[in-house]
């Protein structure tokens, strides 16, 4: 019993220690992705068609449920006057629109190893480490991309 708990705690500690640098890289990649998308300076309705890639900017309404309906209903039940005001604020915010840059690769086109290596060196890896990590990252990426198969991606830019 104590050996099982010990093994689980060791697993938790190892997971936490791997989580910290991976989470840091995740944050850097998210900021970089958003920054690169905004740097394209494409406006709503604009599009780009390159040899290997494409991108377009569109505005979408944000009418999304946020999963807080029960809490808001309870609040409105206890404080009907303030509940009405709160619901009004929420509806205002939900009616706003978001601007997304949607991007992807043309059929049959691929990124090169240099494209990936640049991202990894921008993250702070040396060229040697990036080169050593590249094959494994591509194996994981291929496994994950099979589920998506060329799906377009988008980034919120406004």
Domain count, the chain: 1
* pLDDT for residue 83: 85
Whether 20 is in a domain gets the answer no
Element (H, E) at 49: strand 47-49
Written as six digits, the tokens of 43 are 């406006």
Cβ partners under 8 Å of residue 53, min gap 6 = 103, 104, 105, 106, 109
Structural domain contains residue 90: yes
Q: What is residue 136's predicted lDDT score, i.e. its pLDDT? A: 92
Q: What is the mean pLDDT of each run of 10 residues along the chain (158 residues)?
A: 90 88 92 93 91 91 63 87 85 76 88 90 92 91 70 82
Q: What pTM was estimated for this model as a whole?
A: 0.66
Domain carrying residue 129: 32-156
Cβ proximity of 99 and 158 under 8 Å:
yes
Please check whether residue 79 lies inside any domain of the structure.
yes
In a domain, 1, yes or no: no
Residue 25 lies in a domain: no
Burial of residue 101, with CB atoms counted within 10 A of its CB: 0-12 exposed, 13-18 middle, 19 or more buried? buried
Residue 2 lies in a domain: no
Strand order in the sheet with 97-105: 47-49, 53-61, 97-105, 153-156
């Amino acid at each position: 019993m104590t050996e099982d708990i010990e093994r689980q705690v060791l697993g938790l500690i190892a997971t936490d220690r791997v989580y910290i640098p991976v989470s840091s890289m995740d944050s850097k990649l998210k900021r970089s992705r958003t920054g690169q998308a905004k740097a394209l300076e494409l406006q709503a309705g604009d599009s780009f068609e390159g040899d290997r890639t494409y991108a377009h900017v569109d505005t979408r309404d944000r009418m999304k449920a946020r999963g807080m309906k029960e809490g808001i209903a309870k609040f409105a039940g206890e404080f009907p006057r303030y509940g009405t005001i709160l619901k009004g604020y929420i509806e205002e915010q939900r009616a706003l629109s978001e601007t997304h840059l949607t991007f992807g690769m043309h059929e049959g086109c691929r990124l090169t190893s240099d494209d990936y290596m640049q991202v990894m060196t921008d993250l702070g890896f040396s060229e040697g480490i990036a080169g050593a990590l590249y094959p494994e990252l591509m194996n994981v990426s291929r496994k994950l991309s099979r589920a998506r198969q060329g799906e377009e991606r988008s980034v919120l830019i406004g």
